[in-house]
A and B are shown apart, each in its own frame.
Chain A
Amino acid sequence: KAGVTQTPRYLIKTRGQQVTLSCSPISGHRSVSWYQQTPGQGLQFLFEYFSETQRNKGNFPGRFSGRQFSNSRSEMNVSTLELGDSALYLCATKPGTSEWETQYFGPGTRLLVL
């Protein structure tokens, strides 16, 4: 079974620009969650999509948004980029039908904002 894929792997943007990141889940997984990892902050939860609907949301500003398509692929968008948005963005997927499921992570997209 193919794993979780994320594109692109690396990205450099400048302040004020916007960026779109993509996540393709493991086949059969309908839940996709997004996380931001910065040094010392662990994995901060952004949001979770299940069957094209946002099911959970973290405490991030509205500049961070996402969506999920009918094939369960998900995109995350960050508008008006700030220097502090530089981070590793990880997506994680699971079947999504049970609470106690193991989540599987992609390799992440490293975003650098200059």
Chain B
Amino acid sequence: DQQVKQNSPSLSVQEGRISILNCDYTNSMFDYFLWYKKYPAEGPTFLISISSIKDKNEDGRFTVFLNKSAKHLSLHIVPSQPGDSAVYFCAAIESGTYKYIFGTGTRLKVLA
């Protein structure tokens, strides 16, 4: 049973435009969420996180939005750059477990 879902396996966006990556979750006990970026042949690298007491967190070109009632989070990248082309994973941590649950990833391609 996939508790964290990324329903879009891939996304293509023109350079300079906004990229929006989506993630849905089912477990209401998740209280911390993170986004990671992964290039081929490398381990994932941490991008941005948000706790369940917030609904938005920004870091430069990256903004994460959390809608707890819809159990949905999204990552916005503005403006998108070709170097952003990678696989993006969202992850959630269930309160009291220390354990990350990852989604299946979305491959973003930013076209020059």
Contact = CB atoms under 8 A, between A and B. Distances in A.
Contacts, number: 68
Contacts of A105: 36, 43-45
Interface of A: 4, 31, 33, 35, 40-45, 48, 50, 55-56, 90, 92, 96, 99-100, 102-108, 110
Interface of B: 6, 9, 31-32, 34, 36, 41-46, 49, 51, 89, 91, 93, 95-105
Q: Is the interface of A mostly helix, strand, loop or mixed?
A: strand
B101 to A, nearest CB: 7
B104 A40 contact: yes
Contact of A103 (B6, B46, B51): B46
A100 B97 CA distance: 10
Nearest to A98: B98
A31 B98 CA distance: 10
